[in-house]
Amino acid sequence: MGAESRLAKLLDQVAEGARVPYLGAGVAALAEGGAPASPRALCAAIETKVRAPKRASGNLWSVAQFVESRRFRKTLEQIVRDAFSVRPAPSALHRWIVRARPPLVVDAWYDGQILDAAVAEGMGDWGWVQGISRNGESRDIWTLAYDCTGALACEAPDPGWEMLVYKPHGLIRTGQSFLISDSDYVEVLTEIDIQSPIPDEVQARRTGRPFLFLGCRFDDQLLRIYARQIAKRSGQGHAAVIEGPLTRMEERFLDEMGIERLDLPLEAVTEALAAPA
């Protein structure tokens, strides 16, 4: 089976609710004139505002920690919110996912295009749950859940929602929380192996369903850890659309996770969705 034919089958499985779409930063790049669409691009945006030491430069989480430590958390939050101030229209892929209404969507970047797509499509009976920074928090809490109106629902998503969007790193938007600095991730990474930071409803909806990774690169240890733990105890037969050469660590990760790799550009997904049935 050719890569394009295999991709079409994988997308059919997403539409059937049998496979979980896992969206990385690269999906945000499908929208024209959007916000940063990679950790490196966001890091560069921060470094245009605050000069980081050479030991941290180029590493998003370390640069964010430097700004937080030297200029305080509010400064860091304002810089990244400014970087995400442009809200482009959701891409065709985001809209298609929403119309397909899979039980679970994992969106592992900071933008809100998938949420805007759900609103634009007039979809009801859905919500999202997002990771939050514990900076300044006195509660033992990892996530907050919001309903389709954007209203805070509770700490846990509603099992009755037809579609649940899980944003493990949070949402960079006014009024929302997000994880970005090294200190944000310290406690999460300590607990994530026993799944404490991952909502029970996310764990329930991933059961028996493999993942389709779109717009993801696994050349960063933190992103690999999150992908591994979110996909833990799910279905067998993961797949990923990743174009071009892989790093040694990416190859090792795909092998360890049993991820089938389709060497195609992400635009091939949009083309597949536009092709006649």
Q: What is the mean pLDDT of residues 216-229?
A: 97
Q: What is the mean pLDDT of residues 242-269?
A: 97
Percentage above 90 pLDDT, the chain: 89
Q: What is the mean pLDDT of residues 26-45?
A: 91
Q: What is the mean pLDDT of residues 234-250?
A: 97
pLDDT class for 140, splitting at 50, 70, 90?
A: confident
**pLDDT value at 238 more than 70:** yes
- pLDDT value of position 32: 76
pLDDT class for 227, splitting at 50, 70, 90?
A: very high
CA distance 170 to 168: 6
CA distance 50 to 43: 10
CA distance 217 to 201: 26
Q: State the burial class of residue 236 (Cβ atoms within 10 Å of its Cβ: 0-12, 13-18, 19+).
A: exposed
Q: What is the mean pLDDT of residues 64-74?
A: 95
Q: Provide the mean pLDDT of the chain.
A: 95
The DSSP result for 125-178, as a single string, is: SEEEEEE---TT--S---EEEEETTS-EEESS--TT-SEEEEETTB--STT--B
- pLDDT value of position 198: 97
CA distances for 66 relative to 42, 122, 135, angstroms? 14, 41, 15
- pLDDT value of position 62: 97
- pLDDT value of position 103: 98
pTM reported for the whole predicted model: 0.96
Domains of the chain listed by start with CATH number: 3-35+84-274 (3.40.50.1220), 43-83 (no CATH)
pLDDT class for 173, splitting at 50, 70, 90?
A: very high
| 266 neighbors 30 (Cβ within 8 angstroms) | yes
**pLDDT value at 152 more than 80:** yes
The pLDDT tens digits for 184-197 are 999 899 999 999 99
